[in-house]
Structure 1
């Protein structure tokens, strides 16, 4: 077994559990009788657990070692799913379970992404980490949605299956090849500082695009199914599952294409990704106006492609910017910004008293366009800064 497989499996397994909740949102609306805003809050509260895990996990693993930090965080996904399974009888448990799985996911993304890169001798670490994450994000909703639609105990069984998946993942991680020698003596708070986050490339190319990684995903498989409630009827859970799987399957494929494009032009994949996100958001606005299921799948393709391109472009930039000592920390900062996009469904639901979803989604597309302009200008500015000055009188 390749050494990078164990941390990659942790990314897959925790991502499986974190994202299987996406199609189940329809189940909680229809069978749990929660409002759209409450269900969006279940979805978004995950970020409150994830962000601290991301920001602390990387520096902690630099201090104590990758395995010693990632192993308990990965194991945390097991009680998280058990708490979510009990959420059928108590609403607070759904919030608690989502917070726990968010914390597990945060540490896994910060530490396992870096660990996979360190154990990949051929330079393919960013692609392997991104693909492992996307596979987990896709397989979880597919299996969870099908179980909730067709199997008994729809609010419990998907989480029980995730627990069974995580047991061998956690067991295998115990033998992961350590890449960090523990022994730092300076205070941990100093390690939480990430100087590379102030790098011009990060501020100009990564920050404006990063929120739309999971902003695109959330629009596709959290917002669009809610817009189709009347049209999908009794098959709402199945439609939501299919939209989620299509989004992430396209995102999976897009990352390979983005890597090829990135080799030819270091800035093109991020701009292509934002263009796809803008187009997908406008299609989602059309879904809000028409409740068209085929149009929603078109939006899923565009938003999934945008997700894949922007994610890979961001990870590649992070690995270009950071030296080995700060790679885990900058990866954590990047993912923290990307996951801000998962708050978008909550924001949109809260704004519906002011405007309908068609108007709100067009406004979101306008904000995305501003971010694309910023990335485009940032890339041009960095290119011009590298260009040698032409002496006076030397031009044509």
Structure 2
């Protein structure tokens, strides 16, 4: 990693702000799902597919562009991601079904390009070479917080705007356009951390991320990572839709409810991250266990909500699933950064994020399986899988 001639303790901020803006753009759509069902007549499967198509753009971008940033530098990848994020929101403004799919796919590509390269860049700019006062784990926490804050504020603001503003499905996207354009200038001034000597690594060699085979990654990170966004998407994309399906007075404010649930879920994910980092200071397993336990509890409460007409159950569900999201994210990201070889930091981070985004398939899978079993039963089955993961993280001793 290249180092500055003098310390620059704030050099990480423009990169983190860009991750925040891209996270905002990636997740602003989820609080509008209810509005698209209500105003545009989209089915539950359509809505779930629009959530899932984001991952189709994101996962390949993560797996390819993380290693590219290891080989060619962080700045070209993140700059391109910031521009694509602006383009994605511009396409969503067209408000046609094909544009929704195209915009979500572009948002996924932007996120995949940004999160691996951006997390690695923030971690490097948070090192002692740039900030002598920093402590271990600070870079992972800063990256996770920036991402989660964008994920939380994006849907909260978009949903509240959509509930009460005219031309809701147009105006709701404008805050992100302003934010995404505002971060471009400071991002272009952020210092590169990949030395030119490392940037000469052949791409074919960079794409081989051998750190994936490390025992702690396979046994600690791989089982926990998918619960990051399984927890988040169940809270954001599945449960508010049930509120609309039931009708009644609460359904009249379903867009605002969806926004509040999204903000509460992801805001809780941000709030618990300092605790998760402290739990993971020596060993990431305690943070992973807390995350899996919270996901398990949240899914059990979610099953109760799906079986009952009590809207207030959305609040404890959002808090529990948000806690699980935040703890699993920090535990997985910190473990990934600990086990990655220095020249594979973004590449292995990309693999981690790709595993987390498998959780974006959860709403589509659950919607498809309602032909076989109702949501309460499906959520209980999902809770059983979370319990199995919790048992694995508690009982496995071969990763020490």
TM range (shorter): over 0.9
1:271 and 2:279 aligned: no
- 1:316 matched residue in structure 2: 334
Q: Is the 8 A contact 1:84 1:93 kept in 2?
A: yes
Number of aligned residues: 380
Deviations 1:327-369 (A, max 9, x none): 1111000000000001100000011110000000001111111
Q: Could you state the TM-score of these two structures normalised by the residue count of structure 1?
A: 0.93
Q: Distance in 2 between matches of 1:204 and 1:261?
A: 18
Q: 218, 224, 232: which one pairs with 1:209?
A: 224
- 1:111 matched residue in structure 2: 117
Deviations 1:92-111 (A, max 9, x none): 11000000010001111010
Q: Distance in 1 between matches of 2:339 and 2:354?
A: 17
Q: CA deviation at 1:181?
A: 2.3
Q: 295, 298, 322: which one pairs with 2:316?
A: 298
Residue 10 of structure 2 aligns to a residue in which SS?
coil
Q: Distance in 2 between matches of 1:68 and 1:242?
A: 35
- 1:139 matched residue in structure 2: 153
Q: Distance in 2 between matches of 1:188 and 1:341?
A: 29
Q: Distance in 2 between matches of 1:291 and 1:309?
A: 30
Q: Is the 8 A contact 2:220 2:399 kept in 1?
A: no
Gaps spanning 5+ residues in structure 2: where?
1-8, 128-133
- 1:391 matched residue in structure 2: none
1:79 and 2:87 aligned: yes
Deviations 1:39-74 (A, max 9, x none): 111111000000111111211112221111210111
Q: CA deviation at 1:189?
A: 2.7
Q: Distance in 2 between matches of 1:354 and 1:263?
A: 44
Q: CA deviation at 1:320?
A: 1.3
Q: Could you state the TM-score of these two structures normalised by the residue count of structure 2?
A: 0.92
Gaps spanning 5+ residues in structure 1: where?
384-396
Structure 1 consecutive aligned stretches of length 4 or more whose deviation exceeds 6 Å = none
Q: CA deviation at 1:153?
A: 1.4
Q: Distance in 2 between matches of 1:161 and 1:69?
A: 24
Q: How does 1:314-353 map to 2 (within 5 A)?
A: 314-353=332-371
CA RMSD of aligned residues (A): 1.3
Q: Is the 8 A contact 2:233 2:360 kept in 1?
A: yes
Q: Is the 8 A contact 2:72 2:200 kept in 1?
A: no
Q: Is the 8 A contact 1:62 1:182 kept in 2?
A: no
Q: CA deviation at 1:161?
A: 2.1
- 2:131 matched residue in structure 1: none
Q: How does 1:226-305 map to 2 (within 5 A)?
A: 226-229=241-244, 230=246, 231=248, 232-263=250-281, 265-305=283-323
The range that moved more, 290-299 or 40-49, is 290-299
Residue 193 of structure 1 aligns to a residue in which SS?
coil
Q: Distance in 2 between matches of 1:60 and 1:262?
A: 29
